[in-house]
């Protein structure tokens, strides 16, 4: 389930898996480890069935769940579900529709329906006030660094391109070297936006961690509350990338970025219109465009 949510690194919901396991004794840590390392195999089990699979008893499982800072076993199950999504591989997502279970036409429709559900979840959970506040921070920032890698680099470049048009001080960091050098000199008057999904790409998470250490305001764009970005971001925006195929669907993340662009364009509308008058000249007569 994808919804927009604010999380701080000090809240229990933002605790990393390793931090939760560190709260347990070595014996209990090893007891629960199979469930958190292979969550898809355990997420639907009752507490009694889970205890049996882990060769312990329900009372001990209750104590383990509480020690890991979960309010209830149901909350622990939700966490396992989020872990199963975050750790899903390409073959896991491809297997959501069995081969031969439907036609290519049916699979194509299933893909579009999943994209629609992802967008609906974004619409239901997104808080306009938070987007407006983010636009304000972006405009007031001395520097803006957008961090991402692999396929998410396309999202980084999309957002950067539009902020460049608005003449905002934005740069991208899509390789490990760029991330290291871009975030090194960030400070309290700067904004870092990190985009990564599922388990989180190391360079993106580490870049946001360093930006947070340096005092920058940190924003995460991801798809799950258990994303490691949540440990270092002042706030996270969630957009599902669920798909019945391999890889990830960027329909909802693109929708989120479009909302951010719209907010930035209208935050200082008269300034934007002045810029776009200059842009119009290039768009009408610039050498980049093909003349018929």
pLDDT beyond 50 at 3: no
Predicted confidence at residue 97, as pLDDT, reads 64
Q: How far is CA 197 from the centre of its chain?
A: 5
Supply the range of the domain harboring residue 67. Answer: 12-87
Q: Please report whether residue 100 resides in a domain.
A: no
- Closest-CA residue to 257 (of 92, 138, 95): 138
Q: Mean pLDDT of all residues in the chain?
A: 90
> Does 78 lie in the same domain as 170?
no
φ/ψ (deg, to 5) at 173: -140, 105
One-character DSSP codes across 99-133: TTSS-HHHHHHHHHHHHHHHHHHHHHH--HHHHHH
Q: Is 150 left (phi over 0), alpha (psi -120 to 50) or beta?
A: left
Alpha-carbon distance of 71 to 48, in angstroms, equals 17
Q: Please report whether residue 137 resides in a domain.
A: yes
> Does 136 lie in the same domain as 41?
no
> Does 242 lie in the same domain as 141?
yes
Per-residue pLDDT of 225-234, as tens digits, reads: 889 999 999 9
Final residue of a domain: which of 37, 65, 87?
87
> Does 132 lie in the same domain as 31?
no
Domains: count for the chain: 2
Cα–Cα–Cα angle for 115, 119, 124, rounded to 5 degrees: 145
Per-residue pLDDT of 111-165, as tens digits, reads: 999 999 999 999 999 999 999 999 999 999 999 999 999 999 999 999 999 999 9
Q: Please report whether residue 98 resides in a domain.
A: no
Q: Please report whether residue 106 resides in a domain.
A: no
Q: Please report whether residue 110 resides in a domain.
A: no
> Does 277 lie in the same domain as 173?
yes
Predicted confidence at residue 114, as pLDDT, reads 93
Per-residue pLDDT of 257-283, as tens digits, reads: 999 999 999 999 999 999 999 898 888
């Amino acid at each position: 389930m994808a919804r927009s949510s604010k999380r701080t690194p000090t809240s229990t919901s933002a605790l990393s898996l390793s931090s939760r396991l560190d709260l347990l004794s070595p014996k209990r840590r090893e007891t629960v480890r199979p469930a958190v390392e292979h969550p898809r195999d355990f997420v639907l089990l009752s507490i009694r069935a889970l205890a049996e699979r882990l060769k312990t008893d329900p009372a001990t499982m209750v104590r383990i769940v509480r020690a890991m800072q979960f309010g209830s076993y149901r909350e622990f199950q939700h966490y396992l579900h989020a872990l199963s999504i975050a750790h899903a591989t390409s073959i896991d997502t491809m297997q959501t529709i069995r081969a031969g279970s439907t036609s290519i036409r049916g699979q194509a429709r299933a893909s579009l329906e999943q994209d629609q559900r992802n967008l609906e979840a974004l619409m239901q959970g997104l808080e306009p006030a938070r987007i407006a506040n983010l636009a304000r921070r972006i405009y007031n920032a001395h520097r803006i660094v957008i961090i991402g890698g692999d396929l998410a680099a396309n999202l980084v470049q999309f957002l950067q391109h539009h902020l460049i048009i608005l003449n905002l001080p934005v740069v991208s960091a899509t390789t490990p070297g760029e991330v290291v050098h871009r975030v090194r000199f960030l400070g309290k008057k700067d904004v870092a936006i990190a985009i990564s999904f599922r388990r989180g790409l190391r360079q993106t998470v580490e870049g946001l961690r360093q930006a947070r250490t340096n005092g920058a305001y940190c924003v995460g764009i991801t798809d799950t509350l258990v994303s490691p970005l949540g440990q270092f971001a002042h706030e996270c925006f969630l957009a599902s990338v669920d798909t019945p195929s391999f890889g990830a669907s960027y329909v909802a993340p693109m929708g989120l970025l479009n909302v951010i662009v719209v907010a930035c364009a209208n935050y200082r509308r008269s300034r934007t219109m002045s810029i776009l008058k200059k842009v119009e000249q290039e768009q009408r007569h610039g050498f980049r465009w093909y003349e018929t």
